[in-house]
Amino acid sequence: MTGSKLETRSEEADLPNFDLQSFFPYLVRVFYSDVTAALAEIYTRDHGLTPSEWRTMAILAESGKIPATEIVERSSMDKVSVSRAVKRMHERGLLEKSCNLEDGRSTLLALSSKGRGVYGDIVPKVLQAESRMLKGIGDKEFRTFLHVMSKVRDNLS
């Protein structure tokens, strides 16, 4: 009998045993989504920034004047995401562009005074959110967590 329950069960029995809910890459993705959403609530609600714009802003705040290629290198974002973030931030007056005298083909990016003000407003809020996320996690546990993340990344190469 084609399509019978018995035939379906037999086909399913041939499948490897797999539990998505306990699969490490899936759990990491869910974790990343939850953490990003918690932070995005702050910078999106208060300043209309996307996650890519926030990351770009944070990198520029710590780096000063740099080309967009360096933002790509320092972040987990691709060129298109950085390009869109830079374009939108420039249109909103959050960053300034200047000529790169060392390499005439690229532009240097830096936060504008408005961008520094927005950054200054966001940082205490995301640090407070980070504190809430880490509540009840001791220093030793956190160091272990960072160590495990580092080992996983090392295993990827």
Mean pLDDT in residue range 120-136:
97
The model's pLDDT over 12-28, given as tens digits with 9 standing for 90+, comes to 678 899 999 999 999 99
- CA 51: distance to chain centroid? 6
Q: Please return the burial class of 59, using the count of CB atoms within 10 Å of its CB with bins 0-12, 13-18 and 19+.
A: buried
The pTM of the full predicted model, rounded to 2 decimals, is: 0.81
pLDDT score recorded for residue 12: 67
Confidence of residue 105 (pLDDT cuts 50, 70, 90): confident
Number of Cα atoms under 13 Å in the Cβ half of residue 23: 8
Sign of the alpha-carbon torsion through 89, 91, 93, 98:
positive
pLDDT per residue as tens digits for the range 45-70 = 999 999 999 999 999 999 989 999 99
| β-strand partners of 98 | 108
**Residue 103: pLDDT band by 50, 70, 90 thresholds?**
confident
The answer to whether domain 23-131 has CATH 1.10.10.10 is yes
d(CA 31, CA 18): 20
